[in-house]
Structure 1
């Protein structure tokens, strides 16, 4: 196993790396070079490893490496020269397009191909690419990720023929692909014709609506359905669709262990309907995500009254549950002997005394591993909770200050330096000595030069160049709108970029226009395009 993810490696470093790998190839089974800058020339050099008959590489990650259609012939030739060991390939976030994808798919024509996991997330393909994939589909493939492409309903039609014929596919992700009700009929028919293998289906961030969801859920009426993980996040589902959803899940509840309904406007009434699933003795749900579904303390009370003993992870983030809702959740926590992760991120919480009480002298603390309270302006009661959790195995995440939304406090050393890691990537961490607040003039406006220094300092510490692509916009608004924010607010926004641009932009006032641009259906591709453009205009790595 060799991980060199996100290390600013370019073509220049590939010769030495390839020579080193080729000197002893028989032990290396996993190589992660994702999020570097290899480009087509660098990739070509690395792939000489496959020419070595002793190569035993099983997993190769080249995600986000500036690889284009022009490099696909070299990639396909290399992989075809030694295909019998490779089982996992990630080419996500490279602009391969339909032509590039067709070239890569020649690998499937090789009878020695053993590829089981293929990730083609955000590679700019359409229904044309899906047609090529369906025609060349490999019988060994177990996981297929086509997220964040523009396949649409017509692409789903092409994928459906693949689903009907596969006897091995277990995980399918079609996240963020502009799929509507129109594509649901053919998808549901394909899934129902061959339901016994698929265990994970991700249809998040599409436009199914209640009618489309109803069609997809006919899969649960099939007694052969083995679906364990279902993601319907952000699909325009409302309270009106909850009866259908609950009925479908209750008809075949014994396999489903993970359900994500986040970012749908279910409200308290819709949540109560969904919770009838917990009344079913066959319910095996372990992970439930209800992030941003417009519930209040009323929904929390309903949840506490029907709490399922199997639940291990519960996400209620970005709801308006307030302190009274936390009290309801605390009663749930007090009686739980399975809950390991509880997320109450941005829930209008100011008092966590009830949580502290529920974790004191109860068995709940033996099981709880993670408690997320970031994004809440919690008062003095926070310290008692910290004290209770100090010697436990539970990781508490909370705001270092009220403006810092996406950085969680990990440790504080003897020199009072604070170590953070990011919510989405725990492996990414940095140590930061917070500077004094910038000079504030008589009008209460932060001095722009000091704010700029603070942002530049954050960039240097975090070391993620993607931040630079948006810092100019952030700084412009901070100064132009004369925001009365200190330097921590500035860092909070910058750190938010690392984790989730769309969720975090609201922290700073005056960014409404930018946020609107970020939340539309093309936002992620637009961000990648902006970053690519910025990279091309950057003269050197030191800039």
Structure 2
């Protein structure tokens, strides 16, 4: 261990470190962590420790586990990108079974597979303090998702679970859905880039019809098409808890947009809907326009990188003439020309609720852009991006 590491360990022993200690990107090895862990065992002041982006491996995880079993002040531990595998996850899980103060734990970007997820699930069965667990960018697969789902059926403290990029597929989504039917604690679930498809979206939708705790659901880049959007729409018609639904970079077209719009006509909870990078055209924009004329809850609508064109922009402008709740509208990269931009500009003359309008990378002339900027200033829009 370097002189710096030895000094930090000594400071930990003497309780002279700040409550937040960051040791990320320092090329720390398992030997370094062993020295740090000795200090952690007796330290009574540290609350937040970040050791992300090092090379501590399973051996380093084992040393930290021994410290976490004893330490009574640490509440946040970040171990992202450390080459920790299933063995290291098992060691850390053993610590979680006895530790009663850790609330946030990140193992993002490691090499944890289904066996590591099983170990962590065993810990969640008994742990009563952890509120956030990040396992994104590992390899837990559908079996790991099933193990975690079983834990969620009994765990009553975890509120945020991040499982992005884990190859859990539709089978893993189905397991998580079974858990969501009984779990009433989880508020934030991230499943970004997991290939769940329409089938997985259907499973999650069925769960959302009865679950009343999930507030944020991230389904970015999951190969969800119109059928999946229709399933989610059916859920939104009855669900009263989801506030943010992220469906960026899927395969939702005009039919899916129409389904989601039908849900917005009756839903009174959703405030943020992200649909950038889909396949929505002018017809889909018209559907959203019809919904926005009656919806009084949605505050953010992201439709960038679709193909709504002038006709779609004109339709949305009609909605802005009457809608008074939408504050952010993002329409970048949508083939909007002069006619669509002028329609939006006219809408800004009467709409005083929009605080951010984004129209980057369209086909709008400089004169029209200047008119929009002027109206934005008069209308006290905080931000207009052109």
TM-score under structure 1 normalisation? 0.63
| Alpha-carbon contact 1:126-1:151 (below 8 Å) kept | yes
1:91 aligns with 2:79: yes
| Alpha-carbon contact 2:12-2:40 (below 8 Å) kept | no
- C-alpha displacement of 1:289: 0.6
Q: Which residue in 2 is equivalent to 1:205?
A: 193
Q: Which residue in 2 is equivalent to 1:144?
A: 133
Q: Deviations over 1:501-542 (max 9, x none)?
A: xxxxxxxxxxxxxxxxxxxxxxxxxxxxxxxxxxxxxxxxxx
| Alpha-carbon contact 1:277-1:283 (below 8 Å) kept | no
| Alpha-carbon contact 1:334-1:364 (below 8 Å) kept | no
The one of the two structures with greater contact order (alpha-carbon pairs below 8 A, sep at least 6) is 2
| Alpha-carbon contact 2:324-2:351 (below 8 Å) kept | no
| Alpha-carbon contact 1:44-1:74 (below 8 Å) kept | yes
**What CA distance in whole angstroms lies between the structure 2 residues aligned with 1:37 and 1:90?**
15
Q: Which residue in 1 is equivalent to 2:118?
A: 131
Match of 2:20 among 1, 23, 30: 30
**What CA distance in whole angstroms lies between the structure 2 residues aligned with 1:96 and 1:299?**
45
| Alpha-carbon contact 1:200-1:227 (below 8 Å) kept | yes
**What CA distance in whole angstroms lies between the structure 2 residues aligned with 1:393 and 1:60?**
40
- C-alpha displacement of 1:176: 1.7
Q: Which residue in 2 is equivalent to 1:297?
A: 282
| Residues 343/40 of structure 1: CA separation in 2 closer, same or farther (3 Å cut) | farther
Q: Which residue in 1 is equivalent to 2:272?
A: 287
Secondary structure of 1:136's match? Answer: helix
| Alpha-carbon contact 2:332-2:360 (below 8 Å) kept | yes
| Alpha-carbon contact 1:92-1:119 (below 8 Å) kept | yes
Match of 1:383 among 367, 370, 379: 370
Secondary structure of 1:205's match? Answer: coil
- C-alpha displacement of 1:198: 2.0
**Correspondences of 1:99-248 after superposition (within 5 Å):** 99-110=87-98, 112-137=99-124, 138-192=127-181, 194-222=182-210, 225-248=212-235
**What CA distance in whole angstroms lies between the structure 1 residues aligned with 2:27 and 2:373?**
42
| Alpha-carbon contact 1:210-1:240 (below 8 Å) kept | yes
| Alpha-carbon contact 1:256-1:284 (below 8 Å) kept | yes
1:255 aligns with 2:241: yes
**What CA distance in whole angstroms lies between the structure 1 residues aligned with 2:12 and 2:324?**
48
- C-alpha displacement of 1:167: 1.4
- C-alpha displacement of 1:39: 4.6
| Alpha-carbon contact 2:81-2:110 (below 8 Å) kept | yes
Secondary structure of 2:77's match? Answer: strand
Q: 5+ residue gaps in structure 1?
A: 1-9, 399-543
Q: Deviations over 1:417-450 (max 9, x none)?
A: xxxxxxxxxxxxxxxxxxxxxxxxxxxxxxxxxx
| Alpha-carbon contact 1:323-1:350 (below 8 Å) kept | yes
- C-alpha displacement of 1:36: 5.2
1:373 aligns with 2:374: no
**What CA distance in whole angstroms lies between the structure 1 residues aligned with 2:373 and 2:4?**
46
**What CA distance in whole angstroms lies between the structure 2 residues aligned with 1:11 and 1:332?**
63
| Alpha-carbon contact 2:202-2:231 (below 8 Å) kept | yes
1:50 aligns with 2:37: no
Q: Which residue in 2 is equivalent to 1:76?
A: 65
What is the aligned residue count? 378
**What CA distance in whole angstroms lies between the structure 1 residues aligned with 2:372 and 2:67?**
55
- C-alpha displacement of 1:17: 6.4
| Residues 182/51 of structure 1: CA separation in 2 closer, same or farther (3 Å cut) | closer
Secondary structure of 1:168's match? Answer: coil
Secondary structure of 1:371's match? Answer: strand
